[in-house]
Structure 1
């Protein structure tokens, strides 16, 4: 058999991989995954505006990298293996996340067996010039010096983004608009990391506890389920098993009904619980892989977003052994809930939404209390009806779920909506 090489063009492929699906905050989060995998307990993110010389530093106090490890870290499709519980997956994250925002990424690291830090850079301009998979060791410049300061005397790694062509505007990089954009990015990054890594920030569910600081400010965990609120209700936990090529994996569903606005401990607490996407779009399934939040803001195809179920949120946990089943993407921002699991989720999710609907309607029996920022706002002339008839509707839905024949009941609801719309509205169908 005769073999010949078909190596891809380095210039063309690296350019294509820039558009794999990251935005700024998800790219930062992907690098923090690496920090956690390296055993870091402290991560510092510095987003520094300096016009065209603006930089981003992501520093940790993990185990650090030797020369060979650094080459592997900057190799597209790293040869290192990924075991159970590892936040990594494809060996692409550091490169694709960094280059989605910048044209040069420099890694500065000090392992335990070295007194001085080592550094290497992956530079798109250099790759385009040689059309080859090359790394550069640039002279000891200001970025490297600053990275060494951030490392201090211990072990750790600093990733530096330079030539931020995807962050800075093509023209006017020194202007006020560019500076304001950086200020917004700082705030968005804090909010995103507070949500995605909230279990790591508190050490919940056996996750290794870490501290994250953004421009010197310590990030406080944002709990999507506001379990500290006295009015939050938790339903019975559900556990499912799925088969994969790696074996049988467990999936756990925890369901929560958040308090209505009137029963929150404070107005500020209610506003905080709305989350980055606001109330309607923050409802749904929060999907966690190895305690790291990877998807939120929908019911993953099991049902649609509804104003009346905005108080319903649920966590869905799976381990890395089920990665192929959930078809997790490179950016770790999206999963596909398998059809088999969707069927299992239908009944407990429907029960959650029915009970959350009841809490919402009781809160809004007199006036409709929807946020103006939400996607769906009921008008007064179309406010949900309350009273004995709506209670009958809720009781019927609950009974259908408990009987195990909710699919048949949904068909009945459809017929009533078509033939008796006013009655259906009164019943809450």
Structure 2
């Protein structure tokens, strides 16, 4: 317990300016520019133009121009203040007050902001990483030049109102002397940027709430250039589901919270944009897709809830409950990944759909679709259909592995039998009987119609063929006698070993 009586003074501890040196360390060029687009969206922009400007084929300047509301002097000062926490609404994509500075200083040494707001004097601000990391110095720029930048902005995005972000002294770019290598590097970055923005903002792009274009040109030549539009890349854009029972909603419960997980299974052998993204195969994009206000925050990955594998590459899960971000899911400042809290891991492991499907059943279903499409199909003889006494999930899986003969089904039931017996086969009734005196060995928490699923599945696989003939032949009868003898002795030994 603290005691307020021991307080003698209150002081303010400002952050050390040296923290600027680490800002944006985890940002890729693509994630950094996406963060700037977030700010444009929060400002109400419908158009964003990204300009990758070069000198001798080397990237030297990056510009992001939008037609949003723009900023006045007060808002511009706040935007340049590290960690400034404005009043975020539930619909905002901004979160930490670090995005502009972190994304910019992760890739450049000079950040310049030009902005025009309706009815306000145009403003310009510039912070230099070297100065900012000493004393948080920010330069106030000429309003006349800011107005000129507004005229340039109108040429590009059709509005003087809005904001222009300019990075100069770009650090993370190709530095070698080989011009072909420089062009190759820039082409790769352009492709990666287009893929990242296309998938990150695919929902907004698809409904025309947002238009983004990218232009690569020489510094000084780009003003009249026309950028190439970013196209939406839908990571759930399959035409037909890979599994007829999906997509399916599972609900994870943690305390009083209930979070929806929409589980998808892509069709097997998919090789289209959306399954693969950019130059990467679809296998690398299995896992969770987490949305906040239609912005994709996490592009795949199981977040320690499951192990990635080739067989799970068709499995993707949508989480877009913004109430989960904070108490259950922690977002990092770069919005490049999210950490699931332990309470949420537990909730996902127990998540269920209305039909009883659990999270790991979903993974198994996705694995089956993948494996089934890739294995060499063997012809299996049709089998009698399993029915009462076998759990629905087991019956479903058997149905995927075997085709069924028309007509009768086989049931697995318990009844009281002599202690020397464990099972009996009732051919006319199509029932495999199990001795209920041994039931507690396989259903220790109490019996139910579909209890002991492993035992019953094994017995179905062992016995189903004897029900598929017109009658019991001598070979069938001999097999049944063998099962009764061996399994009766095994059950008695099991009971003895457990001290029952």
TM class, shorter-length: 0.7 to 0.9
User: What residue is the counterpart of 2:196 in the other structure?
Assistant: 192
Structure of larger gyration radius: 2
Work out whether 1:158 is the aligned partner of 2:164: yes
The unaligned stretches of length 5 or more in structure 1 are 368-384, 414-429
Work out whether 1:201 is the aligned partner of 2:208: no
Residues 1:355 and 1:400: Cα distance change in structure 2 (over 3 Å): same
CA distance in 2: counterparts of 1:225 and 1:195, whole angstroms:
10
CA RMSD between the two structures:
3.7
Count of matched residue pairs = 371
TM-score normalized by structure 1? 0.75
SS in 2 for 1:323: coil
Shift of 1:322: 3.2
Work out whether 1:7 is the aligned partner of 2:52: no
CA distance in 2: counterparts of 1:366 and 1:342, whole angstroms:
36
SS in 1 for 2:136: coil
For 1:126-146, what per-residue CA distance to the aligned partner results, in whole angstroms no more than 9, with x for missing partners? 335xx2112113564998875
Shift of 1:343: 2.7
User: What residue is the counterpart of 1:399 in the other structure?
Assistant: 394
1:49 and 1:179 in contact (8 A); partners too: no
SS in 1 for 2:140: coil
2:283 and 2:313 in contact (8 A); partners too: yes
User: What residue is the counterpart of 1:100 in the other structure?
Assistant: 106
2:285 and 2:301 in contact (8 A); partners too: yes
Shift of 1:399: 3.4
1:254 and 1:314 in contact (8 A); partners too: yes
Shift of 1:238: 2.5
Report the more deviating stretch, 189-198 or 214-223: 214-223
User: What residue is the counterpart of 2:228 in the other structure?
Assistant: 217
More helix by share: 1
Task: Give matches, 1:265-304, under 5 Å.
Answer: 270=272, 273-276=275-278, 277-304=280-307
Match of 1:236 among 219, 237, 248: 248
SS in 2 for 1:34: helix
SS in 2 for 1:188: helix
Shift of 1:149: 4.2
1:56 and 1:161 in contact (8 A); partners too: yes
Task: Give matches, 1:76-91, under 5 Å.
Answer: 76-91=82-97
Shift of 1:3: 4.1
Report the more deviating stretch, 277-286 or 225-234: 225-234
SS in 1 for 2:21: helix
User: What residue is the counterpart of 1:60 in the other structure?
Assistant: 66
CA distance in 2: counterparts of 1:232 and 1:211, whole angstroms:
34
Match of 1:23 among 23, 28, 33: 28
SS in 1 for 2:368: helix
Shift of 1:401: 11
Work out whether 1:363 is the aligned partner of 2:373: yes
User: What residue is the counterpart of 1:317 in the other structure?
Assistant: 320
Work out whether 1:119 is the aligned partner of 2:127: no
TM-score normalized by structure 2? 0.65
- Of structures 1 and 2, the one with the larger relative CO (CA 8 A, separation 6+) is 1
Report the more deviating stretch, 46-55 or 63-72: 46-55
Shift of 1:80: 1.2
Residues 1:303 and 1:271: Cα distance change in structure 2 (over 3 Å): same
Shift of 1:397: 9.9
The unaligned stretches of length 5 or more in structure 2 are 1-7, 216-226, 352-357, 398-442, 444-451, 458-500
CA distance in 1: counterparts of 2:393 and 2:83, whole angstroms:
50
For 1:45-73, what per-residue CA distance to the aligned partner results, in whole angstroms no more than 9, with x for missing partners? 11122257721111111111111101111
CA distance in 2: counterparts of 1:387 and 1:22, whole angstroms:
53
1:249 and 1:319 in contact (8 A); partners too: no
User: What residue is the counterpart of 1:306 in the other structure?
Assistant: 309
For 1:340-359, what per-residue CA distance to the aligned partner results, in whole angstroms no more than 9, with x for missing partners? 33233235331222212222
SS in 1 for 2:37: helix
Residues 1:326 and 1:210: Cα distance change in structure 2 (over 3 Å): same
